[in-house]
Amino acid sequence: MRTLLVVAALAALAGCSSSVRSVRALRQHGREPAKAEAVVARVEDFRAAVSLIDRLLDGPMPGDPGELARRLSLGDAEAEKLLQAIEKKGLYRDGSLRVPVATLYRQHAEAVIADGGKGTSLLEAVEARFAPGSGLAARWRDLRGARQALAQVRKAQADLVEQRDRLNPKDQAGRDRLTQQIQELAGRAEGLQEKAEAALAAVDTAFQALKFDLRDPEAKALLGDLVAVLGYGARMAAEAAAVVPVVLSQAYGALRNATVNPRGAAVAAGTLLGLVLELRALDGDLALVAEGLYALAERAADAAGVALDETAGFLYENSASDLIGGFALDSFYFDLRAGGEVLFFHNAQRDGGEPEGDAKVTYDLTGQKFRLTYDVEPIVFAAASLNLGLDLLRIPGFIQLDFGYKTDRVYKSGGTIERSDDALSALGATGAASDVLALGLAVLGVRAAVERATFNAGTVNLEDVQTDRVVARAPFELKRQKVDLSYDLLWVIDSANLRSLLDALDLGFRYTTYTVPRIVYEFEDTNGDPEVDNYVLISESDPQNVESKFYQLGILARGAARTSSGFSFPMALGFYLGGGPADFDIGDADADRQGDTLLDLVIPARLGLAYSFAEPRDRLHFDFELVYDAELIYAFSPDGVSQDENSDLGQKVVDFGGFDVFHGPSGRLRVTW
């Protein structure tokens, strides 16, 4: 089973770039601060991984046949011992960074060859023993040269892309010049990619010429060394390739910090920019090496009669690369939150509840009788939520379940209804308890969520416009139901710079039913000039619950500014736009106009402070969050269409007199795995 998963993982690496992220690597390193020193160290790990693979295959063999396979074996116990030693010194001592699996493999391999070697290389020994004259060692060197040439062109191409991104947007000539050069390099890179793939195919052809004779114990031991090195190299390259996109995002974050504060930067901005370019080149090279070595390792393992996942490179179960080693602890996650929340509802009306006017648009409210005002008490919720998920096939939350519930029933149980007459009886408020129930399910990374909310807190007042006297009261009631479908675009956008700024960029569709007490005012334009609108009040509805149904598309950006001290500052900002029918009556029951098509704008935002009581490298995290959320909702009716294209006389507009804002703080304890 695990071998099949390894095949799938390394096949997915073929031709990949930083646009393909490892979910497991992100879980392991996503909380880390953008430390320039970490970027430098990890780029060195990636360089060393490539160099070590060449050294193990084409450098002097350290010891007799069979010795290399024995030394390379890296099981869980030895890996954990090495991990603890690394965590006690240097970069990883303060606990803010997690040691990448690629770093373990690098340091273990360096220890294996620390004593040097003598005589021929492994590839030369294999060629001489099993297929003299096949050119296996020479073909590997050809592949190495082709990869190096491709990496240089990719780095030059990335350099030009960075230069173009930093140009003044008005410098179109400069952008066009750089774009042409980028396209020329892309053509060269495509040709060199084909050469590298051809060189890899030549290595494979030479490998197929090997005739393994296992009757000789020394020959069997030599084949064991070959299986061990090929498998170990494939695993080390795959682990490094998985972490490259995360490190690239960290490099952009460190680069921004160094640009803003050059004197306080541990690494100069110019050096960091060079590392960004190198990471982009290493990304594809590591993937190519991992793919090629795995195919050779599997063939050699078959010849030796062993399972590849039981050889030196695959004994260690933990992995940063999705699917390698099958399911791991980092494939599963949960997010439990419990705490309290205060919610305020605010209806921001225009002056006196009347629409505004200016030089080109005026409103005459002569004849207005009533308006609604709201005395809404804040709602104090007890809140809890649980999110469970499984990452699979490079999809975060491949399967995910959400459950959330919050209520003020802990603090309130029932209430009273006060009315001075029957004017507000149609609003239908029946109690003073508020509940929000949210359920969510995600499959293949597309999240579906449903939230149903009923709020009863405070009163809605019917005021006489002429006397400002309250003539009726009723408990305020608001009902809202939301159905959301969303997908994180960061998993398909090839922008490490953007990923360094955001945790998620959710593209979503939302269906909302929204019911609020309203008085609906209808106006008619009495001026035929299309450039000037003089609206006169022609109709005023009774107080009623206005139900609107909105179909919205939008985007929500989520992120956090993180520090090495455990504090972070979560934030989010979104924008949704849509429209749909609204259910209301204007005038008498037999009036011609009942309902209208409304447009709506929704702007959600969040700002907060969080503190983690665990080290970023720990799997189990305990956090405290204090955030302030706000959501602005503005609904309006588009202008009607006049019969005369040269005049807007008779054009009608429906107006509610303001916009709604839900806002408030929340504090919660959070436990995540």
Per-residue pLDDT tens digits for 440-473: 565 666 777 777 777 777 788 888 888 889 999 8
Pairwise CA distance, residues 374 & 460, whole Å: 5
Measure the CA–CA gap between 555 and 13, rounded to whole angstroms: 29
For 68-114, write each residue's pLDDT tens digit. 999 999 999 999 999 999 998 888 888 788 899 999 999 999 999 88
Residue 522 φ then ψ, to 5°: -115, 135
Q: What is the C-alpha to C-alpha distance for residues 595 and 582, in angstroms, rounded to an integer?
A: 5
Report the percentage of the chain scoring pLDDT > 90: 27
Residue 2 has a CB neighbour count (10 Å cut-off) of: 17
CB contact at 8 A, 518 and 660: no
In the predicted model, is pLDDT for residue 253 greater than 70?
A: yes
Quote the strand ranges of 282-331, DSSP E.
Answer: none
Structure tokens at 359: 């030089």
pLDDT given at position 149: 92
Of residues 501 and 552, the one with the higher pLDDT is 552
What SS3 state is found at 474?
strand
Q: pLDDT tens digit string along 108-136?
A: 999 998 877 777 899 999 999 998 988 99
Ramachandran region, residue 394 (left: φ > 0; alpha: ψ -120 to 50; beta: rest): left
CA–centroid distance for 180 within its chain:
32
Q: Contact 242/287 with Cβ under 8 angstroms? A: no
Average pLDDT over residues 475-503: 79
| Rounded distance between C-alpha atoms, residue 121 and residue 629, angstroms | 63
Give the helix ranges, DSSP H, for 88-171. 101-112, 122-130, 136-165
Which pLDDT score, from 0 to 100, does residue 5 have?
A: 38
**CA 671, CA 387: separation in Å to the nearest integer?**
11
3-state secondary structure 106-119: HHHHHHHCCCCCEE
Q: How far apart are CA 593 and CA 596, in angstroms?
A: 8
Q: Note every long-range contact of 301-309, with CB atoms under 8 Å and residues 24 or more positions apart, other chains counting.
A: 301/227, 301/231, 303/210, 303/212, 303/223, 304/212, 304/214, 304/220, 304/223, 304/224, 304/227, 306/227, 307/3, 308/3, 308/6, 308/227, 308/231, 309/2, 309/3, 309/6
Summarize the confidence of residues 217-229 as an average pLDDT.
Answer: 93
* Short-list 296, 289, 9, CA closest to 151: 289
**Per-residue pLDDT tens for 133-147?**
889 999 999 999 999
- What SS3 state is found at 157? helix
Rg of the chain taking only CA atoms, in angstroms: 33
Please answer whether residues 272 and 247 qualify as being in contact, where contact means their C-beta atoms are separated by less than 8 angstroms. Answer: no
Token pair recorded at residue 48: 């060393």
Cα–Cα distance for residue pair 249/265, rounded to 1 Å: 17
The pLDDT of residue 571 is above 90: yes
pLDDT digits (tens, 9 = 90+) for 195-222: 999 999 999 999 888 888 888 889 999 9
* Closest-CA residue to 4 (of 246, 294, 357): 294
What's the CA gap between 609 and 607, in Å, rounded? 7
Average pLDDT, the chain: 80
CA–CA separation, 620 and 334 (whole Å): 10
Do the beta carbons of residue 308 and residue 314 sit within 8 Å?
Answer: yes
Candidates 444, 635, 612; CA nearest to 547 is 635
CB 345 within 8 A of CB 456: no
Side chain identity at residue 159, one-letter code: D
C-alpha 265/C-alpha 40 separation (Å) is 13
Q: Which of 51, 276, 3 is nearest to 155 (CA)?
A: 276
What's the token pair of residue 150?
């491709």
- β partners of residue 579: 551, 599
Q: What is the DSSP string of 42-58?
A: HHHHHHHHHHHHHHHHH
Measured distance CA(597)–CA(584) in Å, rounded: 11
User: Under DSSP, is residue 195 helix (H, G, I), strand (E, B) or coil?
Assistant: helix
Evaluate if pTM is beyond 0.75: no
- Asked if pLDDT for residue 429 goes beyond 60, the answer is no
Looking at residue 47, its pLDDT comes to: 93
Closest by CA to 136, choosing from 122, 147, 123, 120, is 123
User: Beta strands 533-540 and 361-364: pairing type?
Assistant: parallel
Asked whether 445 and 486 are in contact (CB, 8 A), the reply is: no
Residue 218: C-alpha distances to residues 108, 137, 214 (Å):
25, 20, 8
Is 491 in contact with 507 (CB distance < 8 Å)? Answer: no
Confidence of residue 657 (pLDDT cuts 50, 70, 90): low
Distance CA 525, CA 652 (A): 6
